[in-house]
Chains A and B, each alone.
Chain A
Amino acid sequence: EDQVTQSPEALRLQEGESSSLNCSYTVSGLRGLFWYRQDPGKGPEFLFTLYSAGEEKEKERLKATLTKKESFLHITAPKPEDSATYLCAAFTQGGSEKLVFGKGTKLTVNP
């Protein structure tokens, strides 16, 4: 069964305190690994897609990396406006192409 697990479930950081969110996946065939940001009461907002092990992508204070078993979302010197839930999703290939989501990591950055 395809599965995506995110850890930790919740993370509290002080402004400027860098950290990483983890996404481990077990899928029959990975076509791509996605990261989304979701603010309360809103739809997920696309951040990154990673396709192959070793690939990295950056956007402002966020950097996403991918290995054969997991992905990390590194947050460097976070600000309060980075507070949100970060969702990881694996796009599976094969018989039924679909996005399999993790449960998310709720990030709170205190000023």
Chain B
Amino acid sequence: DADVTQTPRNRITKTGKRIMLECSQTKGHDRMYWYRQDPGLGLRLIYYSFDVKDINKGEISDGYSVSRQAQAKFSLSLESAIPNQTALYFCATQGTSTDTQYFGPGTRLTVL
């Protein structure tokens, strides 16, 4: 089984809809991250969490919110989706004793 899982893997939605992307991990890591990837722009950080009670904004947090339900679960919400939020979304985890981030398989989101 994969250490970092993301659901759904693909999602097509309409402008204005609320969307939640979920991430679960079995690595026992405290730190979790949400990134988006756009062609030509690389990976950009949306939000990150160092533990259940610690949530921080990344460089592109506008239009997004997150919830850290447990050490193993970190969800990303788009309150009112817009077409320019069409992208690949990746969750990543990191242990406190390592600098390495491990990525999930990604969610391809299309907003029409």
Residues of A participating in the B interface, judged by any CB pair closer than 8 Å? 31-32, 34, 36, 41-46, 49, 87, 89, 91, 96, 98-99, 101-104
Contact = CB atoms under 8 A, between A and B. Distances in A.
B42 A43 contact: no
B100 A43 contact: no
A42 to B, nearest CB: 6
A58 B105 CA distance: 25
A39 B42 CA distance: 14
A36 B102 CA distance: 10
The B interface, classified by DSSP as helix, strand, loop or mixed, is: strand
Interface of B: 4, 40-45, 48, 56, 58, 90, 99-106, 108
Nearest to B59: A98
Given A32-B99, A44-B43, A101-B42, 5 more contacts: A43-B104, A43-B106, A91-B99, A101-B43, A104-B42
Contacts of A91: 99
Nearest to B43: A101
A43 B41 contact: no
A68 B48 CA distance: 28
B105 A42 contact: yes
Given A43-B103, A91-B99, A98 B58 contact: yes
29 contacts: A31-B99, A32-B99, A34-B100, A36-B103, A41-B106, A41-B108, A42-B106, A43-B103, A43-B105, A43-B106, A44-B90, A45-B103, A46-B100, A46-B102, A49-B99, A49-B100, A87-B43, A89-B43, A91-B99, A96-B56, A99-B43, A99-B45, A101-B42, A101-B43, A101-B44, A102-B42, A103-B40, A103-B41, A103-B42
